[in-house]
Each structure stands twice: as C-alpha cells, then as structure tokens.
Chains A and B, each alone.
Chain A
Amino acid sequence: MSQGVETVGLYVRDQEEALAFYVDKVGFKKHTDVKNGDFRWLTVQHPEQPSFQLGLFKPGPPMIDAATAQSLNAIVAKGAMPPLVLSVADCRAAYAAMKSKGVEFTQEPMDRFGTVDAGFRDPSGNGWKMIQARK
C-alpha cells in the first residue's frame, strides 16, 4: 500500500451544486457518494490523481450543530477558507475551457516568473489558484 493523504474535504453550501461544479465545469469525476439520513459522504477525484479524493461536505446536524454550520457557511462565503491549488499543464487553455462553462474567475491568467496562474471560486466561495506546472 502507499501511505499518505487520501481525502481532504471542502465545506460547500449545497452538495448537488458543488458536484455539478466540480464534475461538469472543473473536470473531476465523482468518486464516492454515500447517504446516511441527512448525512452524505461525497467525494470527487481528479482524473489524473487516483490516490486523492476531494470531499464536498455540507456542514450541518448531526455532525455539526445548526448555529456552527451557519458560521461555517458564512466563513466559506466570505472566501476565508485556506487557498487551494490546482496544477494544470496549460493554464490559458484550462481557463478558456472553464470560463466557457461559466466558472467564476477571480483572476485571469497571468505570467509570473516563468509560469502562469489564474484564480477561480466554486459556487460556495472556496478559492482556487490554478497554476501551470513548470516544464
């Protein structure tokens, strides 16, 4: 077996909306989708990264009380969650493809020290930097 980080989760305001965003617009694939009452364990995976899952979790009871869930949703909506970085082979091409699908970009592709980066947000407010891998 290989050891390491397998799943990291994001808080999202609506799991269906998040799933559609990450699958249809960003290009991830659905990995696990298990429901138990109000709780739904939902993860997606980058097609080129089979050892890692990105969880799309909605904060709420019974795991988290309603008031705390409201605070978490607010924190995400304010863009205050930690930065996420997506590595791509061609930032401008990925930008054009995602933009045409309606992704909300916060920064157009910019050349920076021999690489190119752009910024986008998911519908909940999670912020991504999309950085072109150095050749």
Chain B
Amino acid sequence: MIPADDPDLLRRLLRAKDRMDAASHEAWPVDRLAQVSGVSEAHFARSFKDAFGVPPHRYLLTRRIEKASALLRDTALPITDIVFQTGWESLGTFGRIFRDITGETPGALRKRAQAAANGVGAVPNCILAAAVRPNLTIAVSEKRRRSAAGKTKPRKKQEAP
C-alpha cells in the first residue's frame, strides 16, 4: 500500500479533485474518480479524505453550492434553471442542502448577495469564487442534526458522506 503522503499519489488524487472542479454538474461516482486517480475504488474515498480533509462526495457538494451561489448572485436565471445546471437531482434536494450548508434559502442569498455586491472586481473571479466556497467541515446530515438539536452535543455516529 502506498503511504498516504506519497506525492505521486497526492498528485493523482488532485487530478480527481480538478476534474470535479471542472465539471461539478456531472455525476462523480467513486469508480469514476478512482479511475481518474489510478487508485482502487476501495482506497479512493479514504485517500481523498486524508489528502483534502473532506470526503469526495462532500467536496462535490461544496462545489455545486458554490456554483449555484455564483449563479444566484451574478445572473437572473430562475432557480429551477440553476438547479438543473449545477447537477442536482431535484429542486427539493437542492433547497434542503443549500439551507443546511449556507444557513439561508437560495432566494435570500440572491437578495443579500446582490445588495452587497461591490468592490471585488480587482480579484480574479476564479480565485474569488474559491474564496467564498462554503467551508463544509462536517457532513450535511450532521449539520442538519446539530441545528435541529440546538446546543446539545450530537451523538457519535459513523460519518455520512
């Protein structure tokens, strides 16, 4: 087994991350990602999490939310179009995960972001987009559970993707 900090392995895992970045609206099942990285399916998810701190599926969710947020902010596209373009299976799933991650509804974010837009034109847009990416350090389901449970400490549980 290759050590987790082997630069050649990390470089190949980065390729899978880059591919999700380039096409986050596409479906990225583990077998597809593992193939991009030249890693076995059994080892891919763990290796990816060790390298980048989040499981691959959760990383993909943050990218989709980032893209959707940008479209909400920068375009007048209807939310249903944005959901379709950014790779969600349904409006319901999108709305729920969007709220769980960002703490507000897509419509509320659109209003707030458009009101706040100013002064960021000097930063390359591609870099700015990454900087405002949601920082999803826990599973969406866990975040949902914590917010439902108020301040009580959540049960220790197997981490969901």
> Contact residues of A with B, CB < 8 Å?
13, 70-71, 73-74, 76-79, 83, 85, 104, 106-108, 112-113, 117, 119, 121, 123-125, 129, 131
Contacts and interface: CB of A to CB of B under 8 A. Distances in A.
Given A107-B21, A125-B14, A74 B126 contact: no
* Most interface-central of B6, B13, B17, B18 (chain A CB within 10 A): B18
Interface in B111-156: 124-127
B8 interface: yes
Contact of A129 (B5, B15, B17, B124): B124
Interface in B66-102: none
Contacts of A73: 7
6 nearest interchain CB pairs?
A: A77-B10, A77-B7, A77-B11, A73-B7, A106-B18, A79-B14
Contacts of B51: 78
A18 to B, nearest CB: 13
B22 A106 contact: yes
A74 B17 CA distance: 15
A78 B124 contact: no
Nearest to B130: A83
A121 B18 contact: yes
A71 B124 CA distance: 29
Contact of B10 (A78, A104, A106, A108): A78
A125 to B, nearest CB: 5
Contacts of A104: 15
Contacts of A71: 5
